[in-house]
Chain A
Amino acid sequence: GAVVSQHPSRVICKSGTSVKIECRSLDFQATTMFWYRQFPKQSLMLMATSNEGSKATYEQGVEKDKFLINHASLTLSTLTVTSAHPEDSSFYICSAYEPGLPSYEQYFGPGTRLTVT
């Protein structure tokens, strides 16, 4: 089946630093990738949608200068949290979609737990 990986699975960084999270589709080419954020005991909220070779589309209220998304290839998208602060601590999950796969399904990565101290 379609597999999506994320790296790292956990990261701790100091306030003010930047951290990059990678999302890879391992056995298919993802024309579209989505980045979600999940707060403890809450649902997933979409942050942005990225299409390969295009600028990401951010949801209302998401700071595009703070959460930089790059989808440089059909198998890799990256989320960079710039100048991280403790309130950015969260669980970040990506998903990927490719038209040739079974319809109406996004495949999710295992998530990255970010802790900002």
Chain B
Amino acid sequence: NAGVTQTPKFQVLKTGQSMTLQCAQDMNHEYMSWYRQDPGMGLRLIHYSVGAGITDQGEVPNGYNVSRSTTEDFPLRLLSAAPSQTSVYFCASSYFGNTEAFFGQGTRLTVV
């Protein structure tokens, strides 16, 4: 099993550009979520999903959109990148009723 796969691993954007961070899991997990991790801080929840067609906002949703059309995929869209969105982004998935979340390797995003 590949687990949780994130692409790309690294990305540099100019302010105002848009892009999509990809996340795919092959474990048939119901829950998927996106976090951002800034230096010296823990992870903060951006958006999450409890199943295909269902998404909800986390702690820091502004500037990000998500959709969940399939169980496997949960892309994160940056509509108009800002320097404040420079961060490492992690996607995670888990089974319903299970606290063990599986994380991807992360995407390091720099907005200049």
Q: Is B a genuine binding partner of A?
A: no
B interface, CB within 8 angstroms of A:
none
Interface set of A (CB-CB < 8 Å, partner B)? none
